[in-house]
Structure 1
């Protein structure tokens, strides 16, 4: 495979880095442009053996500009359905490398897609993140089922929320609210009852009840 190289756009790089609180350098490639530039690489990646694919993900993730971390996650996500559970967990440590909400939520989508395609093993994916020391890992446990709608395992959702309901970290409380808000589209009665019977932060309640019908 030919290496993907993002040519730096100075003006956009500065503004994109500022939007992300200058935590990471950017090349200045907006998402639509990045998607166009990486289409071929994603397509060709589907022919790679796992070891070569994993090495390619590592190669791009180690590059300094943030767009390369996005590319690395896109590459493995394009191949998610062919991974075994053990291969999936190879990428768990990446979650807490160069971690911020943008990369962590992209990794959450990756793990969530695998769980949706291998639903009987989804609880094992959840268990890999639940109760972990790093809160970014636990954010994935809370938000793992965002796309599952009526297939959401409410027992696991409740377990993840209860574990972290008093955690002060903003991104944890935001995750709790997000998971409840998303599930309220499928089962508003369950979400309402959960909020009314569980002591949650004001942020989690505010976010989680956004779509609930007013009494």
Structure 2
């Protein structure tokens, strides 16, 4: 049977789908299927430490909203592998629908908490890496003054650079010797202003420069 190609991304706009995906086990399962390829609920349980029953339940919930699907669903009754339907998940930063906005914001917070947990685990193991990898890892920040258009353009330019390496994700043959899986986070947010918002076109006194690691 010819393997069905994976879409580039799945867009979540239904508040029910957004809330469903915010569960940490479901995010873990989707990430697992994207990284390791199709696997059964039993294998997913072995890799995640969850029970088979838990993995089966969460995979069915993910399938309900189009994030995963069974391979060969019409085949024999043996346990079937599950596969991710897309290489990435996207959801709106803004919506006129308050229900979508609330669900999207909750999902973003859940993803941020998941990233923080995984990053903490990685940093606790940092000392076991080779010197070359320890020096290559990045943990830094800076503050920029940008317009919405400039921030959008900067994100697009970074995305284009990252895409040059992202083609290796689904094709191991493209990975050079010594390559390892490196989650690369991109976070840019508008810092809360102190006091009332300035009127359009007005200037505000510049804030003191922030030192690395001390974003105000």
Q: Classify the TM-score, shorter chain.
A: under 0.3
Q: Which has the higher contact order (CA 8 A, sep 6+)?
A: 2
By percentage of residues, which structure has more helix? 1
Query: Which protein has the larger Cα radius of gyration, Structure 1 or Structure 2?
Result: 2
TM-score (normalizing by structure 1): 0.26
Q: What TM-score, normalized to structure 2?
A: 0.26
